[in-house]
Amino acid sequence: MRLDLSRAKQILKSKESCHITFDGTRVVIDDIFELSNMARIHDKENRSNEQVVSLSNLIEESQPEN
């Protein structure tokens, strides 16, 4: 499911781990820029790979149930 501003804010404030991807790569949201609907993200495996992207390009993947 593509992220919207409301869900992105929930994820950013949440302590739980969410499966968010950008271009097929798992990422972490670091900050949200509400006026432009953009987010600063980094690659979950490589913190130095940071970029600013549109929220509409972020996908929340459903996590498999245990």
Do 45 and 26 form a contact (C-beta atoms < 8 A)? yes
Per-residue pLDDT band for 63 (boundaries 50, 70, 90) equals low
Residue 55 confidence (pLDDT): 98
**5-41: pLDDT as tens digits:** 999 999 999 878 889 999 999 999 999 999 999 999 9
Residue 64 confidence (pLDDT): 56
d(CA 15, CA 24): 23
Q: Where are the domains of the chain?
A: 5-60
Residue 65 confidence (pLDDT): 55
CA-closest candidate to residue 22, choices 48, 47, 6, 44: 44
